[in-house]
Chains A and B, each alone.
Chain A
Amino acid sequence: MAPLLRMRHIALAGVVTAIACAKSAPVATPVPAAGPVILTLQELDQDHGKNVLSDRSGIADINSTLEIRIDSTALRQQVSSLVGPSTISPAVIARLAALQAMAVARLDLVRAYTESVERYAADSNAATLQAVQDALKPLAKNARSLYAATKEDKALSDRFEAMLESFFSGAPAATPPSVAQQYDAVLAFAGQEATAARQALDVEAQKAGVRIQVGTWLSTTQGVRPVAAPSLNSTEPSSPFVVDRWSVIMDDAQRKQVEANAQVARAINSDGAAGVVKLLTAAAKASLERISGELRECAKTVNDAVVGITTNAGGNPPTQALNQLKTQVKTLEKVGTDLAALADKYRQPATTTDAAAFLQATNADLGTIKAGIETVDGTVKQIQATLAGVRTDLLHGGDLDNNASGLKTKLKGCVPSISEAYDGLSAQFREAFPSARIVALADSAWREVLSFDVGSVPATATVPLITAGPRRAGDLVLIRLAAVRGADDKRQVLDEQQVTLQRVLPHLELAVGLVFADPLGSSEVSHRFQAAPAYSVLYRRGSRRSMARNSFWNLGLGLNVAAVDFDKDDVPELGLGLTASTFSDMLNAGVGYNVFIDRAYWFFGVRLPVGILSLAGSRTPVDDSGTQPSQ
């Protein structure tokens, strides 16, 4: 197979794998407790647009401010189920919002009816009659709703009839109260009942020790962290971090990718697919050896601690803790050994010359590595827990000094260090595992969340995302409202909303990748296509409705800059082109012009979904460290 034909197979395999790895839309979050919706969200974006997030799993722009509205009536309705036996009838609780709405609408509805009746009296015709009938409809509907409630609750019925008896008593038959006055009295009664019910519920909730918390968190690939919402928690706002909409400057990682792509392009142009496989193999081996080495170092540190504790204990060793530590060391060593074996695989020449098969196998290996890192993460936590149970008098000497602080510090560094190597191995892989949907939060996650009486929960709160710290498209914001009854009771989630952050507003993205340029006729290029490192500046806008569009098939249009070498003098020439990019930049195509040798060309480009060598291109980065791309 000709080398460049093989490269087309690589590109195809890349796109296929990319489709398989594309982010899936988060599963819609059900309302945690059955009942009325308490939380509603509105997004205020940088362009002063306002968008209500009607779905419980919505999409918002990554730089927006989220306005949280807390429906105090719905909250009370939900809380009533926690309070236990209540003095307020279920009929009233169930209709609390409707009763309040009647009171709110009362004046307007009665006025509209009164005015319509006056117009009809002054000029009786079909139009003015229709206006009267239209004005009556909402009044009648509300009155009937109230009456339906009274049929379910005798006490309420008694109060209602007592009010009406008082209202009509003494009214002379010649001048009875008007219909407007009657409806006014009925709706006012509804409002009084709602107010009384709210107050009674608040008192009952307070007596039962019910407290309300509204937590706000950001879930990224790095984990879950609280987000400052000044009226809801005491979390310190992060330094303002704005994901720049119009930045076209490469960051360090992208510059490295361009360099890597240049190597890959040279390998393709000289040896075709075989060259690429050779290059990838060498890079994978280096990364895996680094991970394996780090892991073995960690295991050795823990093993030294076991020896230290055994020595310190003399004839009375903490057998159980030591056995646990030994088992945990074995786990670390096993993962290290497995990864070393994987590195050995890459030390050998590639076992296959089939590029597509190579890519698929590599991708499977990345999955193995990720599972290994997760095992290490869990094991390190177990080790720390085991150390916490060891007698302090046994913790002295070397890393065991000061309650094993040195050892704990080293362990803390273990996982990030390995993860860092892993990220270098596969920046792309991270995208295949988007921020996880938050299912459970530890109690400690609520530590900074303020606690309110039911009656004092703020009606609105804002979450300015720019103070939420570093974030990237695909991260999730979780807003969860929970109630706790008493100090020892389990927290009960009453409502929650998840918002996926995306770059919704129009913006520019910088995509780094490889292009395959066809010089359209004779040149020094021996094959039809020449590989070249390139980047594109793409104009895009996201969607508030379609997760798939944001994460996969969002079309970008823009400029492409490629370092082609049509005259084969090993000095790159500047190629400028127009390009369209889609499938998460896995595929792009366009037309270009070689400025130096005055030749037009067309090209297609790929972003290979293997991160070895950081080969894969990336879109305008949002540095997880919190550093903005330099301007």
Chain B
Amino acid sequence: MKICVVGCGAVGSLFAANLSLLDDVEVVAFDLSQPHVDAINAGGLRLSGAGDVVGHPRATSDPSEIGACDFGIVATKAMHTDAAIAATAGSFSGGCVATVQNGIGNEEVLAGHVERVIRGTTFPAGKLLEPGHVQWDVKGDTTLGPFEPSPAPFAAIEQLADACTRAGLPTAAVADARGPQWRKVIFNAATNPVGALTGLTHGRVCERPDLRALVTGLVDEGKAVAAAQGIELDSDPEALIDHAAKPEVAYGHKASMLQDVEARRSTEIDYLNGGIVRFGREHDVPTPLNEAIWALVKGVEQSWQQ
């Protein structure tokens, strides 16, 4: 089985390094950062923290060097999906492409370029420390399922899930992967931008009753949009929010969007709150708070061009 991981930031590297340990899987790591690619090819792709792994995927920044693959795993930031899949689609003309990205709407973008798409959500997280080296912060489950309008065959999804699980990334193949996906997007959309706009860590957001009420307002809109689509959340995002606020979990964690804002990098807001607003409109569900938060974070991004 040949798998190309498209976008080897933190999450992509977790998949590429772990999968490359399997004897029956050939892994290509595609990333635009030449220093990262060179470091992987020279010394391997190292993970440390929640697991210590050195994998040896073949890395490249040149799409023509990927070759034909059975699977793609797209792990870029959501705003780079279109460019990434446009460049690499040729390698997947006979294969299936999964997304393990944040937000909603990535599958639609993939389906614009490839035929068989796998809806995916993953909870492991980390950060890129230096070229070739990723800190693995949290382990967690991954869920894969068919993207309904342009699905991969279920047997293929099971095959990919099995490989991931054997590689140490517990992964379930399910008929409807929207529940975990919406739980995660609702969690992210209700907490990440609130941290980004206020500068507060996750725990400090949650311990202010008025702000925690705003988070719940955002969650409730997301739940209504999910319900209107017939999506059953696999568990309550509120529980995830409260769990993460515990001192021993992620009280002091700065949401990735806050890290983006502090570094003046584009955020994934269009695919989080923007995605909830878009799907809400399609199903006549009002999402005024998510619209407001979306506009505010876009405003923050615009302030950097001053």
Q: Do A and B bind each other?
A: no
